[in-house]
Amino acid sequence: MPDISSIATIFTSLKAAKDLAEAMVDLRDAAAFQSKLLEFQSKLIDANSAACAAQDERSTLLQRVSALEKEVADFKAWDTRKQRYELKNLGYAALAYMLKKEARGTEPPHWVCANCFEDERVSIVQYTNVRKGEGFVWICPTCKSTFDPGTGTINWLD
C-alpha cells in the first residue's frame, strides 16, 4: 500500500496544476501565460514523481508479501514432511529419525540425521565400511556426524 503522504503529494500537485490551468485561461498576456505554463509543467512533474515513488513503494511491498507467502508455504511443507518421521534410539546413544512404517509406501526404510533434521533438512545417513567396536560406522553426508549403532540393535522394519 502506498504511503499516505505520497498519495497526498499526488493530489496536492494535481490540484495546484488544475488551479494553474484555470488561471492560465484568464491570462491574456503572453509572458504571464508562459510563466504560468512553466509553473503548470512543474506541478505535473511533481505529481508524476510522487506517483512513481508510490508505485516503487507498492512494488517493494508486493515483493515482500510474495517472499513472506513463500516462507509460510515452506514452513507448511516442512511441517508436513517432518510428520512422516519419528526419533529412534539406534543403540549406543545414537539417535536418528526414521521414516514411519505407515508413511513409507514404496520408499525404503532409512535413517535421517537428527542434527540435519533439526535444521529442517532430510539427510539420509549412509553406511561406511569403517569398523568400530562391534559394528560399522554410519555417517551423515551433509554435516558429517557419525553413528555407531552397534551390531544387531536395529530392526529396519520397526
* pLDDT range class, residue 158, cuts 50, 70, 90: very low
Which grid coordinates belong to 107? 520408499
User: In the chain, how many domains are there?
Assistant: 2
**pLDDT of the residue at 156:** 45
**pLDDT of the residue at 66:** 93
**Quick one: which of 108, 95, 113, 79 has its CA closest to 153?**
95
Instruction: Quote the domain boundaries for residue 99.
Output: 84-147
pLDDT digit string, tens, across residues 38-78: 888 988 898 899 889 989 999 999 999 999 999 899 888 88
Shared domain check, 91 and 72: no
Whether 56 and 64 have beta carbons less than 8 Å apart is answered as no
In a domain? residue 155: no
With cell 507498492, the residue in question is: 58
Which grid coordinates belong to 51? 506517483
Whether 57 and 6 have beta carbons less than 8 Å apart is answered as yes
Whether 112 and 140 have beta carbons less than 8 Å apart is answered as no
**pLDDT of the residue at 152:** 44
In terms of pTM, does the model score above 0.75? no
Max Cα-Cα span within the chain: 106
Residues 125, 92: Cα–Cα separation, whole Å: 16
Shared domain check, 92 and 36: no
Shared domain check, 38 and 22: yes
> Is residue 155's pLDDT more than 50?
no
Q: Of 46, 77, 108, which residue constitutes the final position of a domain?
A: 77
pLDDT digit string, tens, across residues 96-120: 888 888 888 888 888 898 889 988 8
**pLDDT of the residue at 60:** 92
Whether 153 and 92 have beta carbons less than 8 Å apart is answered as yes
